[in-house]
Every structure is written in C-alpha cells, then in structure tokens.
Amino acid sequence: MMTEGNDVYLRPMTEADTNLIVAWRNADFVRKNFIYQRPFTRQGHLNWIETMVKPGKVVQFMICVREDRPIGSVYLRDIDVIHRKAEYGIFIGEEWALSKGYGTQAAKLMIRYAFDELKLHKLMLRVLAGNDRAKRSYEKAGFVQEAYLKDDVYLEGGYRDVILMALFNPEE
C-alpha cells in the first residue's frame, strides 16, 4: 500500500528500515520531543515490529520524498477496533526536512488512511507542551486540543505538561 500526497508519499515500514528508524529516534532533535526518551535500540525496534506491527496493533509507514528518500515515519498505535480509535504519532528524522510542510502532508495522508481504510472514528495524539512546531502541524492537519495535562510526565529531571489532541472522522 502506498499513499501519495503533493510532496510526500507513505510506504509500509519494513525491517530494512530499522537502522534508519533507530538513528532518527536517537537524534537529539527527535528524541527530545518524545514522551519515551530512553535510547532506542535495533533489538527494541525489531521487537516492536514482532509484537506490535505484525499482530496489527500498530500500522507504521515511512514518509518519503522523491524516489523513495525516507525522511521520517508516521504510525497509528493502540488500534482499538471495538471503539474504532487509535493514537497517532509522527516524527521527521531528517533535520533538513523540518518546517517544509512534509509532516502536515504525511498527517493528512495517514488520517485519510485511518478513516477510509481502517474505518476509525477517532484519532488522538499526545504532544509535549512547548513543542509548538508539532502542535501547529497537527492543527493544520485538523487536530484540536481536547485536554491539557499538567505535570503529566517526568523527563530530564522535571515534570512536563502534555497536550491531548484529537480528530474525528468527518464522514460520521
């Protein structure tokens, strides 16, 4: 399955993408924006594929620009088929690709996939307060703030606030 937008397209993530994903997730500019900030390992990612992706608990794609040049990844996790919802996540792993609109385009493609293919009703996400670039990108894709969780996570020696955002299937 490949989903195409104006400047980016999504293709399924494979085990061959593991080294790239691990390098990206360990890059400071990526890692600092994640709630899970511990070092990412090759074995941990392969375990993610075996226990989450293969059983269908997660759908993960690579975000690519021209001729299969990967720049990041987008995923749906905790897919709940009974309540028809999932948690959305994304990261741009190539620093040169930040602030070019690629994340917003990838989000719109994944949203369309979630609603049209998976028939989900709701997508939600968590973003660390202060990550304004990501929050703006999510808003451009249609997400709205549902909650502001004060001192929700403990990172780097202090508590951080988390913003919950959501988007509902407009066809329902």
**Positions marked active-site:** 138
Query: In residues, how long is the chain?
Result: 172
The residues that bridge with 59 in the sheet, in sequence order, are 76
Residue that the structure tokens 């929050």 belong to: 135
Residue that the structure tokens 């690629």 belong to: 102
Pick from 94, 125, 97: which is nearest to 25 by CA? 94
Cα–Cα distance measured from residue 79 to residue 57, given in angstroms and rounded to the nearest whole number: 5
C-alpha angle with apex 128: 70 to 140, nearest 5 degrees?
A: 60
